[in-house]
């Protein structure tokens, strides 16, 4: 089993990851039940390398207020030579949180992206990980699923697998992965993350400036994953938008993300966070329609806001709208639009 968990070729001996093992700590005998979190709570998930010296300040909400979730990355965001430094920095951050009595109310959800299943297995048993909500499982495949299952077994850690390998382009492989996740990890998976840049790299491509992800091969991938994974109840989050000075294009992409039912989006810069959260707000028209559809006395088919509503087919959409409104609020129409609706 130990050899299996350390199968990642980045780790050739136990000494490569021994730095994360906590000395002289008694582990709890039995884990508490898994936490109940809504994937809509994620919003804009800000990725940052585990080497950042201000991790504690960000987690405490002193920097980047309004941030809902963050991923502390021990994988692609750091180099091989930085692994030890990154792990020690993460340890010091969690110790500071522990000494302060835990995370403050309103602090972002914390996920850690380990480098391998072996690192994940050791981190998952670290008592300081009581302050972490879960792990991001990079490059998840059917072959690695069992290793990730064993890595978090007996813990309260949630998982956010990232779909970012060449297998993702094969709908048959995704059906097999979906069925395996349903059978083994369904209650532990908060959301599936779509790794757009890695998927484009599988094709030898990089996103072109001026185009949304949906104007690239990612358009096919996102739609296919929404069908294969979303139809079985898995929430999905949208790929990163890597252009830092194209707010109009980001807005277009966010509209398409939401149209595909994606519940959040990876952010690479704090400036993207409020833009993503604003896009996740629900229009007052959609919210009113959702409330009408979910009303117990609603007829089987009715007209509302100039559109047909059918609770039997629209109820799940309506529940998602209410969830988004709970987390991000209701966007009021511009005065001219509101006047047109009441005319």
Q: pLDDT (tens digit, 9 = 90+) per residue, 65-104?
A: 999 999 999 999 999 999 999 999 999 999 999 999 999 9
Report which secondary-structure segment, H or E, holds 248. helix 247-259
- Of 143-152, 167-176, 332-341, where does mean pLDDT reach its minimum? 332-341
Q: Copy the structure tokens of residue 319.
A: 């529940």
Q: pLDDT (tens digit, 9 = 90+) per residue, 229-266?
A: 999 999 999 999 999 999 999 999 999 999 999 999 99
Residue 26 has pLDDT above 60, yes or no: no
Give dist(CA 128, CA 12) in Å, integer.
26
33 vs 343, residue with greater confidence: 33
What local confidence, expressed as pLDDT, does residue 115 receive? 96
Q: Copy the structure tokens of residue 270.
A: 């704090």
Which CATH architecture fits 2-276?
Answer: Alpha-Beta Barrel (3.20)
What local confidence, expressed as pLDDT, does residue 340 receive? 52
Mean per-residue pLDDT of the chain = 90
What local confidence, expressed as pLDDT, does residue 302 receive? 98
Give dist(CA 157, CA 138) in Å, integer.
15
What local confidence, expressed as pLDDT, does residue 33 receive? 81
What's the full length of the chain, in residues? 343
For the chain, percent of residues with pLDDT exceeding 70: 88
Q: pLDDT (tens digit, 9 = 90+) per residue, 276-315?
A: 999 999 999 999 999 999 999 999 999 999 999 999 999 9
What local confidence, expressed as pLDDT, does residue 104 receive? 92
pTM, full prediction: 0.89
- Domains of the chain, residue spans: 2-276, 284-342
């Amino acid at each position: 089993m130990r050899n299996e968990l350390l199968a990642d070729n980045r780790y050739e001996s136990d000494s490569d990851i021994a730095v994360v093992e906590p000395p002289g700590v008694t582990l709890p005998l039995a884990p508490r039940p898994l936490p109940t979190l809504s994937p809509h709570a994620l919003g804009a998930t800000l990725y940052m390398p585990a080497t950042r010296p201000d991790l504690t300040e960000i987690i405490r909400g002193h920097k980047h207020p309004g941030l809902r979730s963050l991923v502390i990355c021990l994988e692609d965001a750091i180099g091989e030579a930085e692994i030890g430094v990154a792990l020690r920095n993460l340890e010091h951050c969690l110790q500071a949180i522990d000494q302060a009595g835990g995370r403050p109310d309103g602090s972002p959800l914390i996920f850690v992206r380990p480098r391998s299943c072996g690192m994940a297995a050791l981190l998952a048993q670290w008592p300081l990980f009581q302050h972490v909500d879960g792990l991001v499982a990079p490059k998840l495949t059917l072959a690695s699923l069992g290793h990730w299952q064993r890595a978090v077994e007996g813990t309260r850690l949630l998982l956010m697998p990232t779909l970012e390998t060449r297998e993702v382009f094969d709908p048959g492989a995704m059906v097999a992965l979906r069925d395996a996740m349903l059978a083994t990890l369904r209650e532990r998976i908060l959301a599936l993350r779509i790794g757009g840049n890695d998927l484009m790299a599988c094709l030898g491509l990089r996103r072109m400036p001026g185009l949304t992800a949906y104007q690239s091969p990612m358009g096919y991938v996102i739609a296919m994953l929404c069908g294969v994974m979303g139809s079985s109840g898995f929430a999905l989050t949208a790929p990163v938008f890597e252009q830092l000075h194209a707010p109009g294009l980001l807005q277009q992409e966010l509209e398409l993300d939401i149209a595909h039912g994606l519940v959040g989006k990876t952010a690479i810069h704090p400036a993207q966070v409020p833009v993503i959260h604003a896009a996740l707000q629900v229009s007052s028209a959609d919210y009113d329609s959702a409330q009408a559809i979910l009303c117990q006395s609603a007829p089987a088919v009715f007209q509302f806001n100039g559109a047909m509503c059918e609770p039997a087919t629209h109820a799940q959409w309506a529940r998602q709208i209410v969830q988004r409104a709970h987390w991000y609020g209701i966007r009021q129409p511009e005065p001219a639009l509101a006047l047109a609706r009441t005319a």
